[in-house]
Structure 1
Amino acid sequence: MSVSGLSLIRSFDTVSETKLFPAISKEAMLIRRNSLYFNRSPLEALEEVARNHPSEIFRLWILGYSSVLRSGGDVASYLASKAKDFLRSVERKWMGYANTTNVLGEAILALFLLTPMALSLMALVFVGEVSLWLSDLYNFLVVPSSALLASLFVHLSQPKTFDRYDLEPWIPPSLIMGTCSLIPSLTLLRLELYEALLLSLMVLSFPLAYASTKRLRACNQAEKVLPDFLRDVTEHRKLGFDVKEAVVRLSYRRYNQHFDHLLSQIRRALSYGASFKEAVLSVKTPSWTTRVTLLIIEQVAESGGGSPVVLETLANYIGDYYGAKVAGKSGVKLQAYIGYGAPAFMVMGMLLLKSLGEQFSSAITSPQLASFFAGYQLFSQVLSSIMVTIVVSSFIIGVIVAKVSDLTFLSFKHPLICLSSAAISIKVTPLLI
């Protein structure tokens, strides 16, 4: 944008007006306040906010910009080099995120896989109320606290994307459907508590999985074709078309379903007399990257710039960012597949222990053995409690997998897959043992 004649101060004004940059929106509002109401020049307002800012990276960036500007240096080259540095930093964050998440995923899966089996074995072998007490401790303390800590850790280590999926209209009916299916499952279908809970969670997750998958696909479709779209705009600029006209002409080209719809929205808004900025801001897409890219194109068009070199540079930046994001998400795919299989392994382990306990109880003949296996009734209580916990843990694992692989807790296809894995294992395992 600086190459196109737009200063950094003008960019901060755009940030404060559009609210597309929540990470620096507060700083943008402070700069605008200092300039409009505190009788500061735009550059002084920028420097004042930078000096008092807690982030060293932000402070050095802004003060370096003001130093280059005051000394008459090449501001555009300075900002371009800083943009490359920030992009490399984002790439390192994605790589570090993948490595950190893999370690965390292994620890969480080990906790959810091994602990239920250890508690059940303890209840089967050792007679005493301590097994039941440990089971309750695991169910009501360890599982919730582990889920919260894991979710918090993933959220803090994850690079921010600011994508919006807008599932609010789907949440109330999904909750109602899930709740209403629980009681009939217990009373009419005569299911066990863990089976009824499993069915209820699957009913709850299905509509949310449909809605979230549709929005995630739209987000991925838009971001995937952004570099190609920007290069097409560049080619049109080389042919002499301005940026706005290039966007209108490209709206008749086929990219993919969602991106074609976005471009048609812009073309339709322009045909109704809206300005280019109004048309861009009216676009509805879950992808934050797409909304920001379209806004940058609009700002470049408004400035009268938008040379092919500028647009090609923007295309390279967006392509590198998307590549880093895809590489980071690809690095955690194995953890997602392990998460899908974890509920099945947990259910199989519990049902095998149940079969073992039943065989022991049927083989009891002497009072000594009967005394040794007097804890079988306690084992049955612990097993029933653990099965409920496995169902809840399956849903929790799915939510964590959603955050890890799709960068949001709202991708409900992953909880649905984990619950389906547990349901299949519940039905298939008894046929194999």
Structure 2
Amino acid sequence: MGEKRLVVQYMVRGSNKSADRGSEGRARSFIVAPRIIYELDFLFVLLFDRIARSIVRAFELERALASSMIRTHPLVYGARAIGYTVISIFVGMSIVSLAALLGSNILVLASILMIGILIPIVVFTSFIAYPVIMRSRRRNLTESELPFLASYASIMARGGISLASAMEAFRRSQLFQGLRIEAQEFFRRIGLFGRDPITALEEIASYHPSQVFRDFILGYVITLRTGADVIHYLETKVEDFFRRQGEMIRQMVQRLGVYIEIYMLVTIVGGISLFVLFTSAGGIQIGGRYSGTDPMILIFYNFLGLPLFSAAIMYAAHTTQPRWGIEFRDISYAALFSALFAPILYLTVVIMTGGYLVYSGIFTRQSVLGQISGISAALLTVSIPTWLAYRRATKGLRALERHAASYIEDVSELRKTGLSPEKSLIEASKRDHGSLNPVVRRLATALSIGMDIEDAVRMSLHNTRSWLLRVMFRFTIDSIKVGGGSPEVFYLLARYSASISEAYERLRSSLRLYIIMPYIGAILFLVTSVVYLSLVIARPIPGLGGEVDVASIHKLNMIASTAAIVNAWIMGLVAGKISGLSIGEGFKHASLITIVSTIALWIFSLSTMPP
């Protein structure tokens, strides 16, 4: 037993040492959390040792953790999954018992019971799915940036630089996410474990989740060991990557199309079906009388379920799309800053339109429309300034990237005349390159006064947000410093840049087809809800007598309309992320869909709903 405790302590300490290192130097209160996690892991391994081993074998956690670069011992991870699942079972039982003691109605109790059952399932599934998600993320990141690695390696190979040495540039660069992680792992194996560069490349490739990356690295290693032509191999692989881009784009478009179709099905068909089932099952009786059934199920679905599902779809789209871009922090700041004014505008509109009456229990057509107008105004307060900030930040980026390829091609032609690389850059800037002219002329001015090329490029690209342009100039600098900037290198760089820019444009044009679906879905959901309430529920049946309970109709209409407006705004974000490859683009569509939905709601409510 004592030996087992020592082994457990060794595994748990090894699995948590990164967390311990991360907490060094912090305040004392922040060191408590890693210590608690360490103690819990120690307890879980002691209690669930055998079950954890079965979990590791059943779900192949050892390989999954290795390929996802999660540095946790598989046995510790399996025991952690079981331990937190057991804790969540007790939490779920406590929630259900508390609801039963409080005497909730049968619908609420059934919902809480379902939540209590789902909590441990979600916890266990999350632990099993996390390595799969991280492995998929690592694969997608690497494959989206692999053409740049192959291009850079082929350019550097002409200057006598090996792939192992070229990895240093990706370790220092902030432009690449996936390749930077791989380069850091490469140098970690060399510095920490004493591996030689070729062995380190083999080890990284052997457990890598991307078959494309694995074939590329192992092919390079075999070519190097057999003494074959490395330059020819790298250039052949680059050509192969760009030839396959058309097929990759087609597959990506199909996958994103499936995502948005599933999203429309769950959001529109699911939302309308649940609304109709709720009203027809007794939520609102025919003739508009309120039966007393709690509409909490509608609220949970529309204000919790659908937003979470939308976030999942956007994350799935994010993992599918290429990581070709720079994060715009000022856009995030614009969204947060605008959100501060959203409550003020909401209160202003609600007071001016009479929407505040719903807080006093007065539900009329005007008060409901006022409430919806206030919500729409608040959402537009967030989305419109954010989209304007995004538009200002990205305006002209695509044109810059198109002109950059032609500029580097001009440099290649000038190099063939015998001019030096710096002189070629200066002379090429005298030609017309459209929106790129300010950038290349700043570069030419800096080079003319004798500034180092790296400093000159950094100055010329100041406030330029194009990720692809920064990558192209980074490759240009390294090709000049290492290989002397030969005409062949500049020609290859221009060809690669044009191919990447063209692929990006093809992807964007292929995805524009899906932009109309959220608009149709949002209007369909909103109009169906209002028309159903006004024509089916709010009309008394001839011969049965009685009056329509107008307040109940308007109360349910406010829930349905609010859900329609909020989810229409979220649909715009999803549409922008899928079709425009950016959440920033989604704020434009969110604004447009919200405006269209609000106008449609006013028209149909005024023409069909009782006052």
Superposed pair shares fold, TM > 0.5 = yes
Q: Does 1:400 align with 2:574?
A: yes
SS of the aligned residue for 1:24 comes to helix
Amino acid at match of 2:440: L
Offset, 1:170: 1.8
Pairing partner for 1:390 from 564, 574, 580: 564
Distance 1:345 1:365, change over 3 A: closer
Structure 2 CA distance for aligned equivalents of residues 404 and 115 of structure 1: 21
Offset, 1:123: 5.3
Q: Give the alignment's TM-score, normalised by structure 2.
A: 0.63
Partner residue of 2:429? 251
Partner residue of 1:7? 162
Pairing partner for 2:388 from 207, 210, 221: 210
Q: How does 1:100-249 map to 2 (within 5 A)?
A: 100-122=255-277, 125=280, 126=282, 127=285, 128-129=291-292, 132-166=295-329, 167-191=331-355, 192-249=370-427
Offset, 1:163: 3.0
Deviations, residues 377-431 of structure 1 (Å, cap 9, x unaligned): 5443222101111111111111111111221222221211221221332344457
Task: Decide which moves more: 67-76 or 108-117.
Answer: 108-117
The 8 Å contact of residues 398 and 418 in structure 1, kept in 2 or not, is answered as yes
Distance 1:342 1:59, change over 3 A: closer
Distance 1:37 1:359, change over 3 A: closer
Offset, 1:200: 0.9
Amino acid at match of 1:105: I
The 8 Å contact of residues 396 and 415 in structure 1, kept in 2 or not, is answered as yes
RMSD, matched Cα:
3.1
Deviations, residues 73-125 of structure 1 (Å, cap 9, x unaligned): 21111111222233344443321111122222223223333344444444555
Partner residue of 2:477? 298
Amino acid at match of 1:317: Y
Percent identity of equivalent pairs: 23
Task: Decide which moves more: 305-314 or 32-41.
Answer: 32-41
Structure 2 CA distance for aligned equivalents of residues 109 and 51 of structure 1: 40
Partner residue of 2:172? 17
Amino acid at match of 2:411: V
Structure 2 CA distance for aligned equivalents of residues 247 and 157 of structure 1: 37
Partner residue of 2:229? 74
Task: Decide which moves more: 230-239 or 268-277.
Answer: 268-277
Distance 1:256 1:357, change over 3 A: farther
Offset, 1:148: 2.3
Offset, 1:39: 6.2
Unaligned runs of 5+ in 2: 1-154, 286-290, 356-369
Per chain length, whose mean CA-contact separation is higher, i.e. which structure has more relative contact order (CA < 8 Å, sep 6+)? 1
The 8 Å contact of residues 123 and 131 in structure 1, kept in 2 or not, is answered as no
Task: Decide which moves more: 116-125 or 145-154.
Answer: 116-125
Q: Does 1:351 align with 2:522?
A: no
Structure 1 CA distance for aligned equivalents of residues 169 and 189 of structure 2: 16
Structure 2 CA distance for aligned equivalents of residues 428 and 304 of structure 1: 68
Deviations, residues 312-347 of structure 1 (Å, cap 9, x unaligned): 333332222222222222222121122234333333
Deviations, residues 122-142 of structure 1 (Å, cap 9, x unaligned): 455542455824422322343
Structure 2 CA distance for aligned equivalents of residues 331 and 228 of structure 1: 24
Amino acid at match of 1:290: L
Amino acid at match of 2:399: Q
The 8 Å contact of residues 344 and 424 in structure 1, kept in 2 or not, is answered as no
Structure 2 CA distance for aligned equivalents of residues 325 and 161 of structure 1: 9
Pairing partner for 1:262 from 419, 426, 439: 439
Q: How does 1:403-414 map to 2 (within 5 A)?
A: 403-411=577-585, 412-414=587-589
Offset, 1:273: 5.2
Q: Give the alignment's TM-score, normalised by structure 1.
A: 0.86
SS of the aligned residue for 1:360 comes to coil
Distance 1:70 1:305, change over 3 A: farther
Offset, 1:250: 3.3
Offset, 1:195: 1.6
The 8 Å contact of residues 120 and 382 in structure 1, kept in 2 or not, is answered as no
